[in-house]
Amino acid sequence: MAVAAAVTRGVSTTARQLRLNARKLTERMPAAEQEKPRFVEWGTGCALLLGETALRELGELDEGFWFYGEDSDYSLRAGEAGGRVLHVPSALVLHRVSDALGGASPHKAYLKSRSHVRLLGRHWSKRDWPVLIPAQVLYYAALSAWHLFGGRWETALAALRGVLDELRGAPSAA
């Protein structure tokens, strides 16, 4: 088994949760298929291994994403260039999620929103925008409502500000 581990606080709980989440994602698949490596559309940057050819052809991660989305962008760029992303279920990666910025912090919501809009603008065809734009308006309305009902009005405003700042091309305050 290939193992990559990040040593952080609470690793035993995180590892247990990862195994439970992985089981939930694969339990719908036939048992014989669950552990087989397979090609997927994107991979997570916390466990990204690149060959020299991929790095040379695709370049580095886009720093315009600042935080979040750069791994999805890289995976999609690889696919557009004829490459593929291989998921190896037997590999174990321990990664503490949201440790740097906190679970629902305004700064995290801002950066995620900017990256989300940047990713969609880069990889969605303009012919799909009549469907994409109303869907995104509904998504951000629901996200804002969720934060507002949770008493996180600063987070709701930060998420919306992130969308608007990315749309108008404002410099990021990461």
Give 145-171 pLDDT, tens digit per residue: 999 999 999 999 999 999 999 999 998
**Tokens, residue 61:** 């991660």
Last residue of a domain, one of 62, 94, 126: 94
- Regarding whether 54 and 116 lie in a shared domain, the answer is no
Last residue of a domain, one of 94, 129, 148: 94
Backbone φ and ψ for 96, nearest 5 degrees, come out as -80, 115
- Regarding whether 158 and 78 lie in a shared domain, the answer is no
How high is the pLDDT of residue 145? 95
**Percent of all residues in the chain with a pLDDT value above 90, rounded to a whole number:** 36
Last residue of a domain, one of 74, 94, 114: 94
- Regarding whether 85 and 154 lie in a shared domain, the answer is no
Specify if 174 maps to a domain.
no
Q: How far, in Å, are 12, 60, 63, 124, 137 from residue 130 at the CA level?
A: 45, 32, 29, 11, 12
Domain carrying residue 46: 3-94
Instruction: Report the candidate in 64, 61, 39 with the shortest Cα–Cα distance to residue 50.
Output: 61
Specify if 173 maps to a domain.
no
